[in-house]
Structure 1
Amino acid sequence: MKTINIKQNKNRKNQLVKGICIFLTTLIIVFSTNIFSPIYSLDSPEKTENFPVVLDDDTLFVIQNPTGSISAEERADIINKRLNKLANDDSLEINEDDFDLDDKGNVIVLLYKGKTLTTITDDDAKSAYESRQKLAEDRLKIIQKAIQRYRRERQPFYWVLGIVFTIVTFLILLLTLKVFDVIFPYFYGLLDSWQGTLIPSIRIQNLELLSAERLTKIFKKIVKVIRISLTFFILYAFLPVVLGFFPQTRQVGRILFDYLLRAIDIVATALVGYLPNIFIVSIIIYLTYYTLRFLKWIFWEIETGNISFDGFYAEWAQPTYRILTWLTIALAAVFAFPYLPGFNSPAFQGVSAFLALLFTLGSTGVVSNTVSGFVLIYTRAFQVSDRVKIGDAIGDILDKTLLVTRIRTIKNVVITIPNSVIMNSNVINFSALARDLQRPLILHTTITLGYDIPWRHVHQTLITAAQATDYILKNPPPFVLQTALNDFYISYEINAYTNESTKMAEIYSELHQNIQDKCAEGDIEILSPHYAALRDGNHNTIPADYLPEDYTAPGFKIDPITNILNQNQNQDQNHSNH
């Protein structure tokens, strides 16, 4: 049983393959006939104007020659009216015996019950390359069959027959679509089974250009396009076939079918004429695609550090790849545009000029930001995750593009700054030296203390406070600078090293806390030096936890009034002496 089933499956597959081959062969024949039929018509030696004799949208024969003062067109029009009148006269019964030929010597007259339908002249016979008698007999048979068919197709039975044919055709359509539901999934599974074997990966040495999985997906998309095209063709062809079953709608069906053939003819003719250009454009696309693949691989290796060049930094890899991608695509477009259909048409040129004008008028800011973006990238002003200060904004670089730069502040607020604005601002990068030269960042803060406190004691206290702060490096050690000697106080600046530039806010906060604690432990009072110079009798500002248990606030100094008077007298004597 298994052997029989296998044979049956093979036979079905062979039949399907044969059916597909027959279908493709038919399409090729139709295409070739439509394509080359104009060529054959050009070879005809004579060009005579033909006027058809039509009954029920069927051309019975053509009239090429006049008779006497009646032109060929008028002859055809008269014959058409006579035949249509005869075919639509239900009072007459059409029999073959009612038709007759009357040879009058110079012409043969075709008669119906003694009434003239048409005449056959010697010129008609010469144009048809037949004898006059033979041509008359042939046209008589054609007229008889056409009128009988016209009458027969208007009978009720023919309507029933048309309905039956319509139902059968509809069932064939459903069967065809059902076959598609079986055949094409089979092809999809066949392509999946060929992945990695008959459909291998495309490689250049160790560089994989197209994987087998990717190629399989491409082939599947091609098969899907074929299925959609065939389904559309069958559904469209179904309408004229069904309309052709009924004489009243046959003309509409023929018009639809003629549209289809005309469209196929136009597309096929244009396609054949455009094949050289398609070949050239395909080569350009092929070379462009693999050039971009090669560039992507090169710059990926540079970015990952597998390939390095002196003076070319890894963070330049992706921006440079984007620039070269744009240039490569632009160059390919310049080469390919002359081979595109309608390239030299006024419409194409007008649309191109309009788009160029829009780009010129609306891209001033875009170009400015893009150029600024390139400058910022290649000057290495900052990188993603760097802590920077741009204008009044302080935060970490969240994203940098060719148009804008985004900063996330310490409050988790995202600020978007155009690159042209950054180019006109000062950029302070707190992370650059630690990243590139492994040199730590120096954080500093200033405290002012009075002259009554020994400066060596202040230095040691501030250094101890800095060393007790997290993320402050022990080596190199913190140091203190005395930045100013003012009227009532000295400015001390504590400087400390850190590698954690993104934690500046936390470090500063903890450093200030430690300075307060260490100064309190060292009996250093932090207050306004002006207040300290004028203070008398107030409580010390050092927290009570750091003061001695027997500490009491000092009292106010009071001088007797006589001392004040003596001082005033001495001042007056000094003024008089001067």
Structure 2
Amino acid sequence: MRAVISLAIIIVMLTTLAVAAPQNQPPAAALKTVQPAVSPQPEAMVTLDSQPLFPIRVRVLSFSPEDRARLISARLAKLVRNPLFNIDSLKVADGESTSDIVSGDTILMSVTEAEALAEGKTRLALAEELAGKIRAAVVARNKEYSTQSLLSDALYTVLVTLVLIGALLLINHFHPKIRAKVHSWRGTYIRSIRFQSFELLHEERISLLINAILNVTRTALVLGLFFLYIPLVLSFFPWTHGVAAKLLAYTLAPLDTIWQTFVASLPKLFFLLVIIVITRYTIKFMGFLFSEVEKQTITIPGFYPDWSEPTFKIVRFLMLAFAAVVAFPYLPGSDSPAFKGVSIFLGVLFSLGSSSALSNIVAGVVLTYTRAFKVGDRIKISDAVGDVIENNLLITRIRTIKNVDVTVPNAMVLASHITNYSSSAEEHGLILHTTVTIGYDAPWRQVHELLIAAARATENILELPAPFVLQTSLDDFYVSYQINAFTDKPAVMARTYSVLHQNIQEKFNEAGVEIMSPHYSALRDGSMITTPEPYLPESNKRRATS
């Protein structure tokens, strides 16, 4: 009985252990998930005279791969510059935890078990491999710095220099001859490009264009020769190997970046091309439409023909601004901080410096659509009187009767009183008026007749409407008579006034009517009259001379 109970207890214990064993030992998949992932270390390259030898991938204590590569490169460079250094002294010393590459008492580097494990080799084999690479690099360096190698490098430099000089001499020899040949081809091989009777491009311009291309080609050839010559010569000598590589990198890197950017920007450039084409031909269509409106081929109710040109300019500006806004995100480099900074800077400059310009533009638009004047009108702005010769969104330029050009900002024009002598001259006529003072002894009807006769005898005065006279005041010593006459030529109103004044003098002198003024009346003693002697009768002449 006891044996049966003992056997049962043993069976239960074994079963419990068998069931508990899988629970205490996780499967392989679980172990894989529990193990932390080892992040790869960034490798650093050990170099000798800027030539890569082998990479360092494992950290040792507090030294990162970069630190270790830099220290090993510095020790190796110091060692090879030592004139007492012997390549046979470079050996591998195998220790308990590291295998060291040494030269005499100097330890160049130590190879650890972790590095050997990472490379899949034994520690000693990895150390021997690295030591072999160092020996090979030192031997190659010694060969480069040998006297024979330097002499051969100097010989190659002389040969390359002679080739460069020869190429430059050939370019300078043939370039003037080619230019002279092109000059001699004018009129024979090089002729003007014509379309029917219109000359598109003269033969002289074509010759100049070809000469410019030849000059650019010559400059490109010279620069290309020097671009090849300088890195090639620098690569001959061991001291300048790195300089030659850097020079090539500095030169080719921007070109490669530009090319890569250009290739990457081709879809955006195509989109920009589409925007440019659509905008260009839309503006052309709008220009054609407004030109037809200006010619009155197309009439729009309430839209004057002289509004066509300024309206087209405004529409063109708005279309260009809209196209620029649409195209801006597709410009190469538009998302770069530098581009955004320059855009903000230009925007600030524009906002600070364009306040007066914007006020002039707004005033120009207001003046355009209020039709205050147009080009060719005789106007008066402040003290300036003349004909409008230019009117744009910024300024108005008028030419006075003395041929003086006066430029007035549109903001000042809008803030001033504008007198337009031409706006109604053709339809209603411009009234020219001048005032004379005649004594009370002259019959007013006679004065009216004389003034109207003087006006009718004046050139550029209209017959209809007929001239008329207004008596503007009855003063102490005289009556003020104002002659009013119509003209349709305000551009010559100064000359018309002059002729009118001459005719008034003629008519009044012929009729013997004195033109009085209070100042003259105060100075005369009654023995002389104002009528010139040739117009006086014989009795009056004797009285005037007595």
Give the TM-score taking structure 2 as reference length: 0.69
Instruction: Decide whether aligned partners of structure 1 residues 92 and 428 sit closer, same or farther in structure 2, where only a CA change above 3 A counts.
Output: closer
Aligned partner of 1:462 among 439, 443, 451: 451
Asked if structure 1 preserves the Cα contact closer than 8 Å seen for 2:92 and 2:101, the reply is yes
Higher deviation after alignment, 389-398 or 158-167: 158-167
- Partner AA of 1:504 in structure 2: M
**In structure 2, the residue corresponding to 1:444 is in which secondary structure?**
strand
Question: Which residue does 2:317 correspond to in 1?
Answer: 326
Instruction: Decide whether aligned partners of structure 1 residues 420 and 453 sit closer, same or farther in structure 2, where only a CA change above 3 A counts.
Output: same
- 5 Å-filtered alignment, 1:14-413, equals 47=40, 49-64=42-57, 80=73, 84=77, 87-91=80-84, 142-170=133-161, 175=167, 235-236=226-227, 238-300=229-291, 302-303=293-294, 309-340=300-331, 343=334, 352=343, 355-413=346-404
Asked if structure 2 preserves the Cα contact closer than 8 Å seen for 1:540 and 1:553, the reply is no
Distance of 2:398 and 2:460 partners within structure 1? 23
Distance of 2:406 and 2:67 partners within structure 1? 85
Instruction: Decide whether aligned partners of structure 1 residues 281 and 251 sit closer, same or farther in structure 2, where only a CA change above 3 A counts.
Output: same
- Partner AA of 1:481 in structure 2: V
Aligned partner of 2:491 among 483, 491, 502: 502
Distance of 2:169 and 2:324 partners within structure 1? 41
Instruction: Decide whether aligned partners of structure 1 residues 409 and 70 sit closer, same or farther in structure 2, where only a CA change above 3 A counts.
Output: closer
* 2:492 is the counterpart of 1:492: no
Question: Which residue does 1:553 correspond to in 2?
Answer: 543
Asked if structure 1 preserves the Cα contact closer than 8 Å seen for 2:452 and 2:469, the reply is no
- TM superposition shift of 1:512: 0.9
Distance of 1:194 and 1:136 partners within structure 2? 78
Distance of 1:63 and 1:431 partners within structure 2? 92
- Partner AA of 1:59 in structure 2: P
Asked if structure 1 preserves the Cα contact closer than 8 Å seen for 2:359 and 2:411, the reply is yes
Instruction: Decide whether aligned partners of structure 1 residues 46 and 294 sit closer, same or farther in structure 2, where only a CA change above 3 A counts.
Output: farther
Distance of 1:56 and 1:295 partners within structure 2? 68
Distance of 1:74 and 1:430 partners within structure 2? 90
Instruction: Decide whether aligned partners of structure 1 residues 61 and 536 sit closer, same or farther in structure 2, where only a CA change above 3 A counts.
Output: closer
- TM superposition shift of 1:244: 1.9
Show CA shifts across 1:447-505 (max 9, x none).
233454344433333233223333334x3375232334626644433233333322222
- TM superposition shift of 1:335: 1.4
- TM superposition shift of 1:545: 0.8
Higher deviation after alignment, 106-115 or 454-463: 106-115
- TM superposition shift of 1:280: 2.8
Question: Which residue does 2:461 correspond to in 1?
Answer: 472
Question: Which residue does 1:482 correspond to in 2?
Answer: 470
Asked if structure 2 preserves the Cα contact closer than 8 Å seen for 1:177 and 1:231, the reply is no
* 2:408 is the counterpart of 1:417: yes
Aligned partner of 1:447 among 433, 436, 445: 436
Distance of 1:517 and 1:407 partners within structure 2? 35
- TM superposition shift of 1:336: 2.2
- Partner AA of 2:489 in structure 1: E
Distance of 1:170 and 1:319 partners within structure 2? 65
Aligned partner of 1:516 among 499, 505, 520: 505
Instruction: Decide whether aligned partners of structure 1 residues 272 and 115 sit closer, same or farther in structure 2, where only a CA change above 3 A counts.
Output: same
Aligned partner of 2:528 among 524, 528, 539: 539
Asked if structure 2 preserves the Cα contact closer than 8 Å seen for 1:537 and 1:554, the reply is no
Instruction: Decide whether aligned partners of structure 1 residues 257 and 494 sit closer, same or farther in structure 2, where only a CA change above 3 A counts.
Output: same
- Partner AA of 2:461 in structure 1: I
CA RMSD of aligned residues (A): 5.3
Instruction: Decide whether aligned partners of structure 1 residues 69 and 524 sit closer, same or farther in structure 2, where only a CA change above 3 A counts.
Output: closer
Distance of 1:178 and 1:403 partners within structure 2? 57
**In structure 2, the residue corresponding to 1:445 is in which secondary structure?**
strand
Instruction: Decide whether aligned partners of structure 1 residues 297 and 468 sit closer, same or farther in structure 2, where only a CA change above 3 A counts.
Output: same
- Partner AA of 1:324 in structure 2: V
Asked if structure 2 preserves the Cα contact closer than 8 Å seen for 1:466 and 1:478, the reply is no
- TM superposition shift of 1:84: 4.3
Show CA shifts across 1:497-553 (max 9, x none).
333322222221221112111211122222248988999852332111111223243
Distance of 1:466 and 1:517 partners within structure 2? 11
**In structure 2, the residue corresponding to 1:420 is in which secondary structure?**
helix
**In structure 2, the residue corresponding to 1:432 is in which secondary structure?**
coil
Asked if structure 2 preserves the Cα contact closer than 8 Å seen for 1:99 and 1:112, the reply is yes
Identity, in percent, stands at: 40
- TM superposition shift of 1:314: 4.0
- TM superposition shift of 1:166: 3.3
Asked if structure 2 preserves the Cα contact closer than 8 Å seen for 1:110 and 1:136, the reply is yes
Distance of 1:231 and 1:349 partners within structure 2? 38
Question: Which residue does 1:31 correspond to in 2?
Answer: none
Distance of 1:363 and 1:114 partners within structure 2? 76
Asked if structure 1 preserves the Cα contact closer than 8 Å seen for 2:456 and 2:467, the reply is no
- Partner AA of 1:427 in structure 2: I
- TM superposition shift of 1:154: 1.8
Higher deviation after alignment, 493-502 or 365-374: 493-502
Number of residue pairs aligned between Structure 1 and Structure 2 = 489
Unpaired stretches in structure 1, ≥5 consecutive residues:
1-44, 201-210, 556-578
Asked if structure 1 preserves the Cα contact closer than 8 Å seen for 2:455 and 2:467, the reply is no
